[in-house]
Amino acid sequence: MKKNTIYKVLISTAIAFQVGCSPAENTSFPTSETVSSDKRPNVLLIVADDLGFSDLGAFGGEIETPNLDALAMSGIRLTSFYALPNCSPTRSMLLTGKDNHSVGLGVMAEALGSFPMLQGKPGYEGYLHPETTTISEKFSEAGFRTLMTGKWHLGHKPEHQPSNHGFDKSFVLLQGGADHFGYGQNGGPALEAATYTEDGQLAEYPVGVYSSDFYAERMIDYISAEAEDGAPFFAYLAFTAPHWPLQAPKDLIEKYEGRYDAGPEALRDSRLERMKELGLLEDELLSANLTSLNAWDEMSSEERQIASRNMEIYAAMVDSLDQNVGKVLDHLRVTDQFDNTIIVFMSDNGAEGIDPGHLIARSSNSTPPEHKEQVLATISAGNVDLEKMGSKDSFITYGDQWARAATAPFRQFKGDTEEGGIRTPAFITGPGIRGQRIVDSPLSVRDIMPTALELTGVVEPQEQPSKENIDGEILTPSERSWVPILTGEAETVRSKNDAMAWELFLKRGVRLGDWKAVYSKAADAAPNDRRAPSSWRLYNLKTDPSESTDVREQHPEEFKRLMTAWEMYAKENGVFVPGPRKP
């Protein structure tokens, strides 16, 4: 049987499995007037760390993700969902519904040393402002049990802990990353020491247990505890996979052995074809001008073997994440909570394209000079020893070639304001949602908070922009409830005049309708060349989703409108822009 045929059978099976027992069939929409305290739906928010746009089967991937695929196919796949280029700023927007600059994450804490001009500026503290109202606080006030496991990355001090932001129970990693088997609690040659807390107190991670296994199991424990009181729950399951270092259980790595021997370009081509079959992209857009992935042809056979193993490990990490989502879903089914649970899934940014050399440099920033040779030796050893790769002693990434394959047909990857850095896979399913659909209208991570609160009846329906505003003046970036889309009443909650904007590490982007302007270095500039000039470019995403053709000169009026929107956004949110604001 051909691979494409097998793939279609798997997807059809996923649909059949979900239809009939799926919450997608329950089209009655709960409102604050009709939802009683004992029947309010639960909310399960699942976040993957650095997952590529097409990694899941439901989004075109070949990695085995049957649990997530079934959820996605039964619900609404969101193909124009936007996060930020990096993790903690995205998480700040996710939990507050506000722009990252307005809640303290205008910059990542670990990057402040690289951007001295940002130090001391309001909104650039690197932690979530204690006074900010979070989604967990709103749910807690409404009588929900609020639970979290996984990556926090929003502050280290006691007052910054999840327990001080509305979570009743939490077991979290405070840093942005750690080894996945818990050996880094005392530090390591390639990573800073990992710090874990439970309910705000220092905690020990069980050494040797894989991260995705542990976070899912602890979440099941939290959901089970005190469940007899009948209170609904808000659960935030924030996996650290597939964030580097690439590590996974050995049996899962072996499962993918040989699957990626044809290289990144072949992987990208096959995924684009599957996107076409799934209706995720229009046929004519699949032949867009994509970045060349010819490095494979220049590699030796040994280098190809190492690169293939990198991708095999990455696939195993995604596979494990899916299996652990399945464990949580099974628990919900056994306890008769599945049909009454709204499930939202997303990745916090695009695929990680950092190269090993840059990783060594970045990981060594806080390492004493006398230890830097040890850092290099440790990471290099993991890069060349096939048996060691993916183990606790390996600190590797999979590089920009695989990342570009995962973000195609979009340009760039994590860290960039081009589509590949900020457009991520996402879906929503559950009671009150008309599922088995694909929605391509632009949506933001900021929207999740008002959407979840309205779906559960915690807040009243959000007032939509008036007809005059929709047809007239530019609206500054704001959160929007998706309820009109989820109930099938509308296809979009944003118009061509409703702005979305992003800024991080001085890189910028703004979107109005199908038009998007990006301020960054040229695509051919070296990733670490800080002297390379940046400039504004204009793209029409409807005809050019890969942002391959700058049309600024051909459409000056559209560019002017986008710059007006950008100025409004920057002023409203206190965005620091060095030098003149005007382009």
Q: Which residues are catalytic?
A: 87, 153
**Beta strands at 42-48 and 233-238: parallel, antiparallel or unpaired:** parallel
The Cα 126–Cα 498 span in angstroms is 28
Nearest CA-CA partner of 94 in 152, 52, 50, 175: 152
**Beta strands at 443-444 and 81-82: parallel, antiparallel or unpaired:** parallel
Please work out, in degrees rounded to the nearest 5, the angle formed at the alpha carbon of residue 227 by the alpha carbons of 221 and 230.
155
Strands in 333-388 per DSSP E: 341-347
Give me 533's structure tokens.
């000039």
Q: Please identify which residue in the block is written with the tokens 């600024």.
A: 552
Cβ burial, residue 115 (10 Å; 0-12/13-18/19+): middle
One-letter-per-residue 3-state SS of 432-501: CCCCCEEECCCEEHHHHHHHHHHHCCCCCCCCCCCHHHHHCCCECCCCCCCHHHHCCCCCCCCCCCECEE
Nearest CA-CA partner of 339 in 75, 73, 23: 23
Decide: 317 and 247 in contact? Cβ < 8 Å: yes
Please work out, in degrees rounded to the nearest 5, the angle formed at the alpha carbon of residue 446 by the alpha carbons of 440 and 451.
75
- The Cβ-side half-sphere exposure at 89, using a 13 Å CA radius, reads 29
- The Cβ-side half-sphere exposure at 454, using a 13 Å CA radius, reads 20
Q: Please identify which residue in the block is written with the tokens 């979530």.
A: 128
Decide: 200 and 163 in contact? Cβ < 8 Å: yes
The Cα 451–Cα 81 span in angstroms is 14
Strands in 37-130 per DSSP E: 42-48, 76-78, 81-82
Nearest CA-CA partner of 542 in 288, 275, 277, 278: 288
The Cα 103–Cα 373 span in angstroms is 39
Cβ burial, residue 267 (10 Å; 0-12/13-18/19+): buried
Q: How many CB atoms lie within 10 A of CB 410?
A: 25
Q: How many CB atoms lie within 10 A of CB 15?
A: 16
